[in-house]
């Protein structure tokens, strides 16, 4: 999902939502239904419904609030509408934790974490890496939701989900690492005001670019004097250091950081041999930062004998032939790996989740036609969010829900001068917050088969100088970028995050 722009894919489903409370009424904010003026002049539309469910083995009654929050300029002019869905346990407790969640892109709505991992309802798509097919898609109760331990707020940044700029506001005012983070931080402050939750334990989390956003929002919330202090951040499929992970000619770190993911994938598809994925990726880590790095950094001065030794080991880890690795000069870009690994079977592998396989127009190309791990899940999620929000939560709008859309050009600058803006890395924001907030902890969840945000790159970015290590906790999963699409990993992720929140 990082920087790659994917077209929005709409799907519809005529599925009755089992278990929805009969006779639940949507309640709009007073006056909302009477607003007839231009978009910036109307009142925010809000729907409130009440439900119950079993989460983490506990029965929970909760209120769902689906609706708009207006971000306003200093003169009070409404500039943007942020759509969010909040799930708050009843009776309300101001000392109960609240967790703010979003996805990434940039340009992705929060549908994935909402309807896949932590919301009270989820879409049930195949768990084994096969295509999700066509509707109707089952939308089921989600016992893995975190509502037993925390209230949940799913946020769609501007131009994602139902969120959008208002009136004459240019949407690009919100398109950028810092500009986006400022708008999300503004929303969080408004939510805390409206719900009386300033002194609640607070968690902030995201997936993919959502982890970048988490670090940037953390900086906006804790980096000034009017702090919103956090208890923890939840990083799922982490991308913080874009410089080190850039798949661009001349950047040797990218090959090093991708190698353990290639090893895990080769093992999964029977192209490598090892006792376990854990032991094999640990071998790959050591090789990557040792002999492989030593070879790459020598460039054209690499001696022939050392080159041959590294090539043999690289073939063992990647499942690629020594002849191919020699032609690639020991440097295999992920796009080439997706096409080459299973070329002998006529298959490509996924970028988001390398367990998925696909078939291209032909088998002669250098890179895949598309990502089978994205088109294998998108239809189900699009149908689920629209069905759940419109029917179960009673939020009605003529707008299309943007699961993944175009938001650009995106301003990647951090505003720290030439060097900081050229080498984009938000991990120092996390380090500063850990140094200045002794109660802050970090949860990092990574899939072994994720090439969008490789697990070794996440480890590298968070192991740098200035980032205290004792409050960072890692967990790993036998799937990819969206580890929760695999049933075992969704349950494990739920247990892991639940333990993280309880351990404050």
Summarised one tens digit per residue, pLDDT across range 67-86 is 999 999 999 999 999 999 99
Q: Does the pLDDT value for residue 15 go beyond 70?
A: no
Peptide bond into 91 cis (omega under 30): yes
Classify residue 458 by burial, with Cβ atoms within 10 Å: 0-12, 13-18, 19+.
buried
Q: What pLDDT band is residue 39 in, cutting at 50, 70 and 90?
A: low
Q: What percent of the chain has pLDDT over 70?
A: 92
Peptide bond into 212 cis (omega under 30): no
> What's residue 126's pLDDT?
85
Top-confidence residue, 17 or 266: 266
Q: What pLDDT band is residue 156 in, cutting at 50, 70 and 90?
A: very high
How far apart are the C-alpha atoms of 394 and 410, rounded to whole Å? 33
At 268-279, the pLDDT tens digits run: 999 999 999 999
State the helix-helix crossing angle for 277-287 and 455-462, rounded to 10 degrees.
60
> What's residue 5's pLDDT?
34
Helical H runs in 418-466? 418-422, 427-436, 455-462
Q: What are the structure tokens assigned to 437, written together?
A: 């907030």
Q: What is the mean pLDDT of residues 279-300?
A: 98
Q: What pLDDT band is residue 128 in, cutting at 50, 70 and 90?
A: confident
Helix H or strand E encompassing 235: strand 232-238
CATH architecture of 32-243+380-502: 3-Layer(aba) Sandwich (3.40)
Q: What percent of the chain has pLDDT over 90?
A: 84
> What's residue 18's pLDDT?
32
At 351-388, the pLDDT tens digits run: 999 999 999 999 999 999 999 988 888 889 999 999 99
Q: What are the structure tokens assigned to 198, written together?
A: 């300033």
Q: Does the pLDDT value for residue 40 go beyond 70?
A: no
Q: What is the mean pLDDT of residues 138-148?
A: 97
> What's residue 1's pLDDT?
39
Q: Does the pLDDT value for residue 474 go beyond 60?
A: yes
| Domains of the chain by residue range | 32-243+380-502, 249-375
At 175-213, the pLDDT tens digits run: 999 999 999 999 999 999 999 999 999 999 999 999 999
């Amino acid at each position: 999902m990082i920087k790659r722009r994917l077209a929005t894919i709409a799907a519809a489903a005529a599925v009755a939502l089992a278990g929805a409370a009969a006779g639940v009424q949507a309640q709009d904010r007073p006056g909302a239904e009477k607003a007839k003026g231009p978009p910036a002049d109307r009142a925010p539309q809000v729907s409130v419904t009440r439900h119950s469910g079993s989460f983490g083995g506990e029965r929970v009654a909760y209120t769902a609030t689906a609706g708009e929050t207006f971000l306003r300029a200093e003169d009070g002019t409404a500039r943007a509408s942020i759509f969010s869905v909040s799930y708050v346990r009843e009776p309300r407790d101001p000392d109960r934790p609240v967790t703010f969640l979003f996805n990434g892109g940039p340009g992705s709505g929060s549908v994935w974490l909402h309807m896949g991992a932590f919301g009270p309802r989820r879409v049930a798509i195949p768990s084994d890496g096969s295509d999700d097919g066509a509707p109707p898609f089952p939308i089921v109760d989600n016992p893995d939701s975190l509502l037993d331990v925390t209230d949940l707020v799913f946020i769609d940044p501007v131009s994602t989900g139902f969120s959008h700029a208002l009136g004459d506001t240019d949407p690009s005012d919100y398109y950028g690492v810092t500009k986006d983070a400022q708008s999300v931080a503004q929303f969080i402050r408004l939510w805390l005001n409206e719900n009386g939750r300033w002194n609640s334990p607070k968690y902030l989390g995201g997936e993919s670019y959502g982890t970048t956003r988490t670090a940037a929002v953390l900086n906006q919330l804790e980096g000034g004097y009017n702090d919103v202090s956090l208890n923890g951040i939840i990083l799922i499929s982490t991308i913080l250091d874009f410089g080190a992970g850039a798949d661009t000619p001349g950047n040797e770190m990218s090959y090093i950081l991708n190698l353990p993911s290639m090893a895990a994938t080769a093992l999964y598809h029977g192209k490598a041999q090892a006792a376990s994925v854990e032991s094999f990726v640990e071998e790959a880590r050591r090789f990557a930062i040792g002999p492989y790095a030593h070879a790459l950094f020598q460039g054209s001065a690499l001696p022939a004998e050392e080159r041959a030794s590294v090539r043999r080991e690289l073939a063992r880890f990647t499942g690629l032939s020594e002849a191919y690795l020699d032609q690639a000069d020991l440097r295999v870009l992920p796009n080439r790996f997706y096409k080459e690994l299973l070329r002998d079977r006529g298959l490509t592998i996924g970028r988001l989740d390398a367990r998925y396989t696909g078939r291209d127009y032909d088998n002669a190309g250098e890179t895949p036609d598309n990502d089978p791990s994205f088109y294998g899940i998108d239809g189900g999620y699009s149908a689920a969010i629209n069905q759940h929000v419109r029917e179960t939560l009673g939020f009605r709008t003529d707008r299309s829900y943007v699961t993944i859309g175009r938001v650009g050009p995106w301003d990647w600058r951090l505003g720290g001068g030439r060097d900081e803006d050229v080498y984009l890395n938000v991990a120092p924001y996390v380090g500063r917050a850990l140094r200045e907030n002794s109660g802050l902890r970090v949860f990092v969840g990574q899939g072994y088969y994720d090439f969008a945000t490789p697990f070794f790159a996440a480890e590298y970015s968070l192991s740098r100088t200035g980032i205290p290590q004792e409050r960072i906790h890692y967990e790993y999963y036998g799937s990819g970028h969206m580890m929760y699409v695999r049933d075992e990993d969704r349950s494990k992720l739920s247990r892991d995050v639940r333990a993280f929140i309880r351990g404050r």
